[in-house]
Structure 1
Amino acid sequence: MPSLTRHRPRLVSSISYSTVCLSLMLGLGAMAPLAAHAQTAERTFSVPASSLGEALSRFASQAGVSLSVDPALVSGRSTPGLSGTYSVDEGFMRLLQGSGLSLQPVGAQAYTLVPAADDAGAMEIAPTAITGVTLPSESLEGERYAGGQVARRSSQGLLGSRDFMESPLSMTTYTSEAVKNNQARTLADLTASDPAVRSTNPAGGRFEQFTIRGFSLFNSDVSYGGLYGIMPTYSIDMEMADRVDILRGPTQLVNGISPRGSVGGGINLVPKRATDKPITEFTGTYASDSQVGGAVDVGRRFGEDNRFGVRFNGVKQSGDTEWDHQKVNREMAVLGLDFRDERLRLSMDVGHTERDTDAPQERVLVSDAAPVPRASDVRHNYAQAWTKAKTSDTFGALRGEYDIDDSLMVYGAVGARKSNHDFVRHNVSILNAAGDFTIQPRDFTRDEDVRTVNAGVRKWFQTGPVSHEVNLAADYFSMDFENGGGRYANRPGNLYNPVATPEPTVRTRTDAKIYTENRFSGVALSDTMGFLEDRVLLTLGARWQRVKVDDWENGIKGETSYDEEKLSPSVGVLFKATDQLSLYANYMEGLSQGKIAPSTSSNEDDIFPPFISRQLEAGAKYDMGKFAITAAVFRIKQPAYETGDAPGPGIRGTFGPSGKRVNDGIELNVFGEPIDGFRLLGGVMYIDSNLEDTNNGGATDGNRAPATPEYNANLGAEWDVPAVQGLTLTARSMYSSSQYLDQANTKEIDSWTRYDVGARYAFKVDETDVTLRGTVENVANSRDWISAGASDDSEPGLTLATPRTFVLSATLGF
């Protein structure tokens, strides 16, 4: 989806404001005489109360003038906005009134914002006809909130680009600065900072998986610039991301159906783009036990008015982890190209990633007869040394936006991915209190082919005192995949005392080849209406969705295919009670692809029909300029699934529906820099998760849903040491309360807490910027089960915490 700002024609989603304005200044300077009248003529403006930088951006865009703004000058300042008939000069004077800032010419056709104390050369805006607003070094969408860890504005799919104070959704956007300073290698490293998100698979495992608000989210449901399905399926490298949007709650209205039907929220990676300032960085990395690597980041703009941009990111890292005989090798190369003109913006991203893991850990399954294993006694890698996970993903996307006129824009995007995956693995299903399990070797291949298309039109207009932003969009998604493999003879294993066994060579069984086609299509319409000078924003929307799935087993069409459709309404309302306080509420529902029976069930790979999820949410957002607090209460409903009890020894249970689950929750998030040099990022989430209308006459009604802790809490802090310029100390804590493994609530894991500490030091050597970073993750080396598996029961099992890990890096900026 493109990223657009409300009431702002000729806007850019994926490019920098500063460079757009520069090209427009050069190209339109000849129109200055025509602008003289425009500067003094009166016209109607509508700029809602907001931060000063946001208000200046909107007003200048509506007025057709250029203004260069240093974000530091407007940080923490707000304005009541304006609505009515003004000249351009009068409008700017009103917005800047009491701000201590004034305008100063910096050239024949350009102006900048300066402190009023330096206004010897300050003046009223001279006649000119230059379009746009310049925010140096970053686009408005990426404008950092105080502290730099979170962006004010984020891409929200169908709803366009919104400031967090103007969005009727709960959302946090983590900046590239947060990615770098957390030394995040994969998406799981970054999401550890968010209390609504938890990882449900071992860090040294075959794949990453998450929960948001207690519901599962797979990597295939992570979007890239708003397009689903083109990110690597099993692990996503963070070096390719400029920002990461985390949206809490169902996302079907804003982004359409996700490939695996996630309902608790969504994650979107924003691609990197070349900036006006040349980028040349090299980062050397080390992670214990002996993972060593390097990353390069190079960006340049060139051509007339810097219209063309190139950004390349490459990564190579390899070595042993803290676990026995476990080695990880990862490689990534992503190239981003973009072009921007007065009305046309184009961008293209192409990338390739490879990841090889020796002895990847699996979730630990617990049989009905066994107690929950003791995590503190697991001291060695229980995966056999001959197991492996080899993944290869090649992906690309092409996007375009074109302004037909000042209030109408069309856009489109296409994306594709080709992936090949090769695994040799075994389940770990504990049989008794001694930790015994049966090693069941299996090789497994999966080939995926994804195609996705999105197109739409966005229109801004007024009907009397009501403003409108209308968006009509259509999308189509296809994914074909084929699974194959075989089984080998079983042999004994033990969780607490692993014994090496020979690598299997002769299959005892060849699995059926499963071929599946997914076809998702949809059309969405939304209208965001502004009342009372845009202090009340009402969004009404609906998305028609069609889900078509066909599967074949050894060339024979399966019985679980389906073709269903649904019209899903959504509504959101936001009230700007004051310049600092926004209140909001929303109702969202959507159709999701049906669950797929896991490998641990007797009906493995069976596909279930689509289901409908529903959310009600209300919240408040308080922006104090340098520090913000957001709060939300929510209810999400969706069908529940479970793998039934095994009918006998050695026989797997059957996976299927079992009533529904209702998650009632409360969230509180904080971010910013409340005191100069001291930054906070974190929050707490409470979930009351109940099962209703379950199988066997409601035998588990009222029980807590599996794998859903009652409390999650995170708090990260950074402190710039006053006595040593450039030195910052960091700390982070994470907590989750106990979780049940099953719907019957008979097996439970304890709560867990993790502490990370670190430091970074930034300095210069001649003209080279150097930043040294060091972090100790899980500094107490706690041995805990951090997850009871996927919350929907499709992938049960315990996830073991990563041991104490040292992560070091050095970034050189040339």
Structure 2
Amino acid sequence: MKSASGCSRPASRLGGVLLSSAWVTLPLLLSGQALAETSSSSDALVLPTLNIEGDALQGVNALPEAYAGGQIASGGRLGVLGEQKAENVPFSVTGFTEQLIEQQQAQSVAEVLENDASVSVGAGYGNYAETFVIRGMPLYNDDITYGGVYGVLPRQMVSTELLGRVELLKGASAFLNGVSPGGSGIGGSVNLEPKHAGDKPLNKITLDYAADGQAGLSADVSRRFGEADRWGIRVSGLKRKGDTAVDNEETDTDALVAGLDYKGERVRGSLDLGYQRYATDGGRSVVYNGLGTTATSLPDAPDSDTNYSPDWVNSHTETTFALLRGEFDLNDQWTAYGAIGGNKNREYGDYSSPTLSSSNGDSTLYRLSVPYRSYTVSTTAGVRGNFLTGDISHQVNLAYSGFVNRSGSAYTMSGSGSTTNIYNPNTNVAYPATLYASGNMNNPAITSRTQMDGISLSDTLGFMDDRLLVTLGARQQWVEATGYNDEVLSPVYGVVFKPVDGVSVYANHIQGLQQGDTLNVGGVTRQLSPYESKQNEIGVKFERENYGASVALFQIEKPVSTINSNSYYGEQRNRGLELSAHAQPMPALSVFASATFMDPEVRDTVDSSIEGNDAVGVPEYRFVVGGDYKIAAVDGLSVNGKVIRTGSQYLDQANNLELDPWTRLDLGASYETRVADQQVTFRANVKNVTDEDYWASATGGYLTQGAPREVRFSVSTEF
């Protein structure tokens, strides 16, 4: 790494980066016996047309097909490596389709990702953003990619109306995705794919209603046109407003996205334009822990629909975004590709969260008001190709990525807090007077600038007719933020072995990278260097026509900051076992299931009182079982359901405050028929059928309560 004074920019270091990255491929190339035998002959380098199994799917919008049943996809996007089938790569990756989103009437990314046991969901720190915990490590909403590009999506909450697919990569991804803008994603990453036109014309209108008074109208229209239907366009829009199942909470969503794509023989591309406005008034907040280090018990969760936020709290976000992607086949072996995207965010919120002062639910409320502005541009460009050296196949990818963000905020804050109780909330608290303030609330100045650049080089070598695939690569990354500069080299090593068709044994070593903390010790501010986490993983994937399964063992080691006169670091080590399966045992029935077991240990700290404890906010286990069944006696009728079981987790580092395990049941049904010669689908879904009261998450060291029972209805017609 280099200090602030020694950081170099990518343009002046390209040769050095290529040499630094290439070292990981040379030893294996030079040690191959087949290459040694052919290197002296005149036909040592052969460049035929190849169709290597592990290569990225062709087309910027090509997606892995869904497994039998249509709910779970057979792969996902692996950053610079593009969309890949899971069986061909040394990583755990899956996707959730539009069909699953529609069947479950999922309205947010969190409601989709809950279908995987490796993911638990919490709320943002003092706001209404969704936070995902993957393999025990947080992923912030700002660190989700759109079509593989950072810095495009709206903040805090993303409507599923904008999405064609939700893809989950489990594990670190510094090489694949680069440094995440928000510094999270050590345990996994999420990519959201845009909507694009299918082969058939689409005209669809949907009306939806939630039992507590929230109504929505959405439309989805697509066409293919031009010679050989090379051009496609799809436009989707949503308006939804009304009360949620939480008392005195109202949301208002406007979303519009248009996707244009072109599928030529040698040129392919797409342009996606979108807008989202999301507002929450009276939104239920998280609950902070102010019980002190001697507390040994937590208050039980209040009734599931209780709202302990004052009635004046609100959050309003507005985002305009765009993404342009394209690729060009230079010849049969090599393709050049690139993308540019960005967004403009406007946000304002009056926030207030109760801080517990007693185990009987007594709490204190403060106010923080924040306007926020940001402008982001992300770019990527590269070339990928395949060739043979003797009997060894190669899939090579050289890529550049860039990210630039400018953001500004201001704030006003109240002083002494008002009292309340989470079981008997005082929602009529007067708007507290301002005691502290900073910046222009009407026009916040730019206060933060971040620029990240990276150059990556990888080679997937195929042996034994590509039954053995070895991936080697590295990414050199430069990070320049307000107050510091740094650079890091992030390597990756992975192997896939296919002993028989349908079985893949894999292993990987990959690193994560996030911006270091800013600490104040003895009145001196110190910016820590980027945290480099390490992941090792082994697993087996099994696929057949109508069923499949996977098993993975992993270990992630992540530095964490602690303070004393001699040390600034400790470590969180997450060891885990993941199991997953999907099947369609009969045409009418499709099921999916997953389980995760975690051992999140804090170690090598300077505080003996927490040495060996469990990390905060990481459930010790999580199970998910779901499926869909078509009722033979009634043509067009199907039922679906999902059960989530989440184990206990700790709220504090001392492991004195433990959340109880919880179970949630979701049920649904759909009926497809024809009315007046039009295709019509009726749906009904019930979330948290038994109306359980539970603390869903302790991620971040604060409490997020589980959603109450909510009934959703919809009717859609295609014409």
User: TM-score range, shorter-chain basis?
Assistant: 0.7 to 0.9
Kindly indicate whether the alpha-carbon contact (under 8 Å) linking 1:320 and 1:326 is maintained by their aligned counterparts in 2: yes
Aligned to 1:222: 144
In structure 2, which of residues 433, 438, 453 is the aligned counterpart of residue 511 of structure 1?
A: 438
Deviation, 1:197, is 0.7
Q: How far off its partner does 1:344 sit? A: 1.0
Alignment of 1:401-440 (within 5 A): 401-440=327-366
The reply on whether 1:623 has 2:543 as its aligned counterpart is yes
Does the CA contact (< 8 Å) of 1:48 and 1:533 recur in 2? no
Amino acid at match of 1:729: V
Offset of residue 807 of structure 1? 1.2
Find the partner of 2:82 among 133, 153, 160.
160
Q: Secondary structure at the match of 2:632?
A: coil
Offset of 1:789 from its aligned partner? 2.1
Deviations for 1:326-352, whole angstroms, at most 9, x for unmatched residues?
100011011111123221112111111
* Map 1:103-252 → 2, pairs under 5 A: 141-201=63-123, 206-252=128-174
What secondary structure, in the 3-state scheme, does the structure 2 residue paired with 1:375 have?
coil
Structure 2 partner of 1:736: 646
2:583 — aligned with what?
A: 672
TM-score (norm: length of structure 1): 0.78
Q: 1:657 to 1:213 in 2, by over 3 A?
A: farther
Q: Name the CA distance, whole Å, in 1 between partners of 2:432 and 2:522.
A: 25
Contact 2:642/2:667, CA 8 A, preserved across alignment: yes
The alpha-carbon deviation at position 443 of structure 1 amounts to 0.9
Structure 1 SS opposite 2:380: strand
Tell me the residue number matched to 1:494. Answer: 421
In structure 1, what residue type is equivalent to 2:594?
G
C-alpha distance in 2 between matches for 1:606 and 1:395: 35
Whole-angstrom CA distance in 2 between matches of 1:754 and 1:350: 37
Structure 1: 5+ residue runs without aligned partners? 1-42, 62-131, 133-137, 551-560, 645-655, 791-795
Equivalent-residue separation in structure 2 for 1:185 and 1:761 (angstroms): 20
- Alignment match, 2:405: 479
- Alpha-carbon distance in 2 for matches of 1:581, 1:304: 41
> Structure 2: how far apart are the matches of 1:802 and 1:606?
40
Report how far residue 677 of structure 1 moved.
1.1
Equivalent residues of 1:202, 1:800 under 8 A apart: no
Query: Are the structure 2 counterparts of residues 485 and 609 from structure 1 closer, same or farther at C-alpha, using a change threshold of 3 Å?
Result: same
What secondary structure is seen at the aligned counterpart in 2 of 1:276? Answer: coil
SS across alignment from 1:694? coil
Cα drift, residue 304 of structure 1: 2.5
2:714 aligned partner = 809
Pick the aligned partner of 2:197 from 236, 252, 274: 274
2:467 corresponds to? 535
CA contact (8 A) 1:202 1:802 kept: no
The answer to whether 1:357 aligns with 2:280 is yes
Aligned partner (choices 588, 598, 601) of residue 687 of structure 1: 598
What is the deviation of 1:153? Answer: 3.8
Contact 2:304 2:692 survives alignment (8 Å): no
Secondary structure of 1:200's counterpart equals strand
Comparing 758-767 and 467-476, the one that deviates more: 758-767
- CA change 1:353–1:244 in 2 (3 A) is same
In the alignment, does 2:693 pair up with 1:783? Answer: yes
Q: Is the partner of 1:638 in helix, strand or coil?
A: strand
Q: Is the 8 A contact 2:282 2:311 kept in 1?
A: yes
Shifted more, 535-544 versus 307-316: the winner is 307-316
Number of residue pairs matched by the alignment: 662
CA offset at residue 591 of structure 1?
A: 2.5
1:299 aligns with 2:260: no
Greater Rg by CA: 1
In 1, the alpha carbon distance for the partners of 2:199 and 2:50 equals 31
For each residue in 1:363-418, what CA deviation from the matched residue of structure 2 results, as whole angstroms up to 9, or x when unmatched?
A: 11122345411114576210011110111111111111111111111011111111
1:723–1:345 distance in 2 versus 1, CA, 3 Å? same
Between the aligned residues of both structures, percent identity stands at 35
Deviation at 1:310, TM superposition (A): 1.2
Separation in 2, partners of 1:504, 1:643: 37
1:455 to 381, 385, 394: 381
Is 1:569 aligned with 2:491?
yes
Deviation at 1:152, TM superposition (A): 2.2
Q: Which amino acid aligns with 1:686?
A: F
Letter of the 2:552 counterpart: A
CA shift for structure 1 position 501? 3.1
Q: In structure 2, how many angstroms separate the alpha carbons of the residues matched to 1:643 and 1:499?
A: 38
Per-residue displacement from partner, 1:135-188 (whole Å, max 9, x unpaired)?
A: xxx986342211101222432222233222111110111111111111111101
- Following superposition, the deviation at residue 609 of structure 1 comes to 3.4
Partner of 2:266: 343
From the superposition, tell whether residues 469 and 805 of structure 1 become closer, same or farther in structure 2 (CA, over 3 Å): same
C-alpha deviations, 1:462-510, integer Å up to 9, x for none?
1111111100000110111112110125322211111233542742221
CA drift at 1:770: 1.4
Q: Matches of 2:634 and 2:526 in 1, distance apart?
A: 60
Structure 1 partner of 2:622: 712
CA separation in 2, counterparts of 1:336 and 1:447? 26
CA separation in 2, counterparts of 1:590 and 1:498? 42
Partner of 1:443: 369
Match of 1:114 in 2: none
CA distance in 1, matches of 2:472, 2:518: 33
Q: Which residue of 2 aligns with 1:27?
A: none
Equivalent in the alignment of 1:29: none
Q: SS at 1:233's partner residue? A: coil
Give the residue type in structure 1 aligned to 2:496.
Answer: L
Aligned to 1:257: 179
SS at the partner of 2:217? strand
Q: Is the 8 A contact 2:76 2:168 kept in 1?
A: no
Question: Tell me, what secondary structure is at the counterpart of 1:695?
Answer: coil
Alignment-mate amino acid for residue 283 of structure 2: P
- Check conservation: 1:379, 1:496, Cα contact below 8 A: no
Change (3 A) 1:571 1:216: same
Describe the superposition over 1:16-60 as per-residue Cα deviations: whole angstroms up to 9, x where unpaired. xxxxxxxxxxxxxxxxxxxxxxxxxxx97866789xxx9xx99xx
Do 2:49 and 2:333's aligned partners in 1 also have CA atoms closer than 8 Å? no
1:381 matched to 2:292: no
Aligned to 1:662, which of 548, 573, 583? Answer: 573
Name the CA distance, whole Å, in 2 between partners of 1:255 and 1:379: 39
8 Å CA contact 2:186–2:513 kept in 1: the answer is: no
Flag the 1:596–1:421 CA change in 2: closer, same or farther, 3 A. farther
Counterpart of 1:555?
none
The CA deviation at 1:291 is 0.6
The one-letter amino acid paired with 1:689 is P
Query: Contact 2:399/2:455 (CA < 8 Å) preserved in 1?
Result: yes
Find the partner of 1:758 among 645, 663, 668: 668
Following TM superposition, by how much is the alpha carbon of 1:708 offset from its aligned partner in structure 2, in angstroms? Answer: 0.7
Closer, same or farther: CA 448–154 of 1 in aligned 2, 3 Å: same
CA apart distance, 1:294: 1.0
- SS where residue 177 of structure 1 aligns? helix
1:522 aligns with 2:454: yes
* Partner Cα distance (2:124, 2:705) in 1: 6
| Residue 610 (structure 1) aligns with | 530
List per-residue Cα deviations over 1:749-775 (Å, max 9, x = no partner): 110110011111112235422111111
Of 727, 730, 733 in structure 1, the residue corresponding to residue 637 of structure 2 is 727
Q: Which amino acid aligns with 2:365?
A: I
Q: 1:508 to 1:160 in 2, by over 3 A?
A: closer
Question: CA–CA distance in 1 between the matches of 2:260 and 2:318?
Answer: 23
